[in-house]
């Protein structure tokens, strides 16, 4: 810790009240304030982790025959200091969040619409743009042809009766009325 300031002892004792002496680095300069007569800013580097580019500044006033006294002190950011982002009012942040939620909902609705219009199996439909029949449709057509080729003799008369509109558990209601 080097010091060429005649106010070093006073400035460091003031800084010791608010910061650990280990966090106060080397003396940088004494700056005479142009906006206030008799006021000098004593500037030290910050040795605190996370405060690279920051400086400790102690403002000291010295009037004619009076002893110097500390006016104020603080940690001031330099040109290369890491700063927090600019403050954004809650109303602006809320509006941005609502816009993001609306956009996400619209995107989700759009993807649902696309999913409903898309072929779920990923294959072409029979009447799609290419006008070519699909393999799946060909398979169904072959099954229909097989059923068309059946004769009445091919059906098993001994098997269970197929039910129709009036049947309950294979019992024909019309047959029960006649009894």
> CATH number of the domain that 48 lies in?
3.10.450
59 domain residue, yes or no: yes
And the tokens for 159? 């098997």
**pLDDT for 131:** 57
28 domain residue, yes or no: yes
Domain limits for position 64: 8-77
Give the dihedral sign, CA 34/35/36/37.
positive
Q: Give the per-residue SS3 of 121-179.
A: CCCCCCCCCCCCCCHHHHHHHHHHHHHHCCCHHHCCCCCCCCCCCCEECCEEHHHHHCC
83 domain residue, yes or no: no
176 domain residue, yes or no: no
73 domain residue, yes or no: yes
**pLDDT for 161:** 58
41 domain residue, yes or no: yes
**pLDDT for 32:** 92
37 domain residue, yes or no: yes
Per-residue pLDDT of the chain (179 residues; tens, 9 = 90+): 555 788 999 999 999 999 999 999 999 999 999 998 899 999 999 999 989 999 999 999 988 888 999 999 999 999 999 888 899 999 999 999 999 999 999 999 888 877 777 655 555 555 555 555 556 555 566 666 666 666 666 665 565 555 555 555 666 666 665 55
Q: Residues 5, 47, 73, CA angle at the centre, nearest 5°?
A: 55
Domain tally for the chain? 1
164 domain residue, yes or no: no
């Amino acid at each position: 810790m080097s010091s060429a300031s005649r106010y070093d002892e006073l400035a460091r004792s003031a800084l010791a009240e608010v910061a650990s002496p280990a966090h106060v680095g080397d003396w940088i300069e004494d700056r005479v304030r142009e906006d206030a007569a008799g006021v000098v800013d004593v500037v030290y580097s910050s040795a605190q982790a996370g405060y690279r580019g920051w400086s400790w500044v102690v403002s000291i006033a010295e009037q004619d025959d009076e002893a110097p006294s500390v006016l104020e002190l603080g940690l001031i950011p330099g040109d290369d200091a890491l700063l927090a982002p600019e403050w954004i009012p809650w109303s602006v942040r809320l509006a941005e969040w609502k816009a993001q939620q609306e956009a996400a909902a619209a995107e989700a609705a759009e993807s649902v619409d696309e999913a409903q219009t898309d072929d779920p199996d990923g294959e072409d439909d029979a009447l799609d743009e290419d006008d070519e029949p699909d393999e799946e449709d060909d398979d169904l057509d072959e099954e229909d042809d097989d059923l068309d080729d059946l004769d009445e003799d091919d059906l098993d008369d001994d098997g269970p009766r197929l039910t129709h509109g009036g049947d309950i558990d294979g019992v024909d209601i019309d047959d029960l009325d006649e009894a």
